[in-house]
Amino acid sequence: MPNHPRRANTIAVHSVDRFVFSVPDLAEAKRFYDAFGLDVREEGESLTLRTFDKVRGDMAGGGTSNGGGGHVWAQVFQGGTKRKFEYVTFGIYPEDEAAFVQRIAASGLQREAHPLAARKGGIWFTAQDGLVVQLLVAPKVSPGVKSPHDVSAPMVAQGNAPSRSKTPRVHPRHLSHILFFVSDVPAAMKQFSDLLGIRLSDHSGPGIAFMHGAHGSDHHLVAFAHSDGLGLHHSSWDVGSINEVGAGAEFMKGQGYERGWGVGRHVLGSNYFYYVRDPWGGHAEYSFDIDFIPAEVDWPAADHPPEDSLYVWGPALPPDFIVNYETAQTAAT
Ligand SMILES: [Fe+2]
């Protein structure tokens, strides 16, 4: 028997192995993701984004090893006048590869590798709105258990808050999920469910849907929000405490990235969040305490009222938070 978590009798992807996008200015991308707390490396014509092997824990002390250390979560290329999503690679188990080959061939959606593909192998197809997908046999890099709270027990007879003067940048532990704009959320839900075995967690009408990996993942591995076409709205990165969410927001403001949304708490997924707006109108999210759905659990997927689709509490939504700058006529300012 394979030694990895899996849902019985289910052919499904297990992880977002990598997402790839391009931006007009690679040097600015390096500055942004470095400040955000990722391990940014120049590799050939691109930047690669990793989480650090060992991250400092909550600022009160501690520390944790990072399951994603060394793994390339994202790759960024230079090109165009806007930020543009290129393709996403989902990790699959080796024993499922033949079934995926058959399934994608039967769908009629098969295609050649994306021109920017670092790894040409695997199975390629184009989903609705031109969303290019690669399926690749790879280790499971999505978490196998709920991410721990990286917080030391509060001390008495001493202050527990870190010093503002000594607050360093925050280092995320792993990629939690990515959210795409698509033109038809129910159609994307069905296509990702049918082809990739990704399961619906929760949705709000045809406006937004959150989906998890069948072999155990955070409450959402991918999510879809309605727009007029394809776009990458945000990538979300797991951190160890609510303090790190706030400290990350503050650090990024100090680096000149003053726009964003949060700190707040989501209803669907339950995570605490802060979204940092990148220079091209997309976002990178610090996320803490997202719900976890083990492989053997049937999550009770539900349709929620629109007011529950975004947040329990937090500041008002910035006016252009849900603008898809990949399809917009005007560039982000
Ligand atoms: Fe998110």
Rounded distance from Cα 283 to ligand 1 centre (Å)? 9
CA–CA gap between residue 238 and residue 175 (Å, rounded): 6
Rounded distance from Cα 266 to ligand 1 centre (Å)? 9
Q: How far is CA 258 from CA 32, 261, 274, 277, 286, in A?
A: 12, 10, 12, 8, 15
Q: Is 180 exposed, middle or buried (0-12, 13-18, 19+ CB in 10 A)?
A: buried
Q: Please list, in sequence order, all residues whose beta carbon lies within 8 angstroms of the beta carbon of residue 177, skipping any fewer than 6 positions away.
A: 16, 218, 220, 221, 222, 223, 235, 236
Rounded distance from Cα 275 to ligand 1 centre (Å)? 8
Q: Where are the domains of the chain?
A: 15-141+171-308
Residue type, 4: H
Rounded distance from Cα 245 to ligand 1 centre (Å)? 13
Question: Are 90 and 197 spatial neighbours (Cβ–Cβ below 8 Å)?
Answer: no
Rounded distance from Cα 147 to ligand 1 centre (Å)? 15
Residue 210: phi, psi to the nearest 5?
-120, 130
Question: Are 205 and 303 spatial neighbours (Cβ–Cβ below 8 Å)?
Answer: yes
Rounded distance from Cα 179 to ligand 1 centre (Å)? 7
Q: What is the pLDDT of residue 69?
A: 58
Torsion of CA 35, 229, 218, 274, to 10 degrees: 40
CA–CA gap between residue 21 and residue 73 (Å, rounded): 12
Question: Are 290 and 272 spatial neighbours (Cβ–Cβ below 8 Å)?
Answer: no
Rounded distance from Cα 300 to ligand 1 centre (Å)? 20
Rounded distance from Cα 1 to ligand 1 centre (Å)? 34
> What is the torsional sign of CA 251, 312, 271, 20?
negative
Question: Are 282 and 230 spatial neighbours (Cβ–Cβ below 8 Å)?
Answer: no
Closest listed residue to residue 174, CA positions, set 20, 47, 69: 69
Rounded distance from Cα 156 to ligand 1 centre (Å)? 35
Rounded distance from Cα 234 to ligand 1 centre (Å)? 7
Query: How is domain 15-141+171-308 classified at the CATH fold level?
Result: 2,3-Dihydroxybiphenyl 1,2-Dioxygenase; domain 1 (3.10.180)
Q: What is the pLDDT of residue 162?
A: 83
Question: Are 256 and 305 spatial neighbours (Cβ–Cβ below 8 Å)?
Answer: no
Q: What is the pLDDT of residue 167?
A: 77
Q: How far is CA 136 from CA 8, 13, 16, 316, in A?
A: 20, 9, 10, 40
Rounded distance from Cα 99 to ligand 1 centre (Å)? 30
Rounded distance from Cα 177 to ligand 1 centre (Å)? 6
Q: How is residue 171 written in tokens?
A: 């280092």
Residue labelled with tokens 């707040």: 264
Rounded distance from Cα 286 to ligand 1 centre (Å)? 8
Q: 222-242 burial string, b = 16+ CB within 10 Å, else e?
A: bbbbbbeebbbbbbbbbbbbb
Rounded distance from Cα 239 to ligand 1 centre (Å)? 13
Residue 181: phi, psi to the nearest 5?
-80, 135
CA–CA gap between residue 296 and residue 282 (Å, rounded): 34
Question: Are 261 and 303 spatial neighbours (Cβ–Cβ below 8 Å)?
Answer: no
Question: Are 96 and 294 spatial neighbours (Cβ–Cβ below 8 Å)?
Answer: no
Q: What is the pLDDT of residue 62?
A: 34
CA–CA gap between residue 45 and residue 42 (Å, rounded): 7
Q: What is the pLDDT of residue 151?
A: 80
Rounded distance from Cα 93 to ligand 1 centre (Å)? 25
Rounded distance from Cα 235 to ligand 1 centre (Å)? 7
Rounded distance from Cα 223 to ligand 1 centre (Å)? 8
Rounded distance from Cα 158 to ligand 1 centre (Å)? 35
Strand partners, 234: 179, 283
Helices (H), 108-264: 185-196, 242-254
Rounded distance from Cα 56 to ligand 1 centre (Å)? 23
Q: What is the pLDDT along the chain (333 residues), one digit of tens a residue?
A: 567 999 999 999 999 999 999 999 999 999 999 999 999 999 999 999 999 975 544 443 333 444 445 899 999 999 999 999 999 999 999 999 999 999 999 999 999 999 999 998 999 999 999 999 999 999 999 999 999 998 878 899 998 888 888 778 999 999 999 999 999 999 999 999 999 999 999 999 999 999 999 999 999 999 999 999 999 999 999 999 999 999 999 999 999 999 999 999 999 999 999 999 999 999 999 999 999 999 999 999 999 999 999 999 999 999 999 999 999 988 888
Rounded distance from Cα 201 to ligand 1 centre (Å)? 13
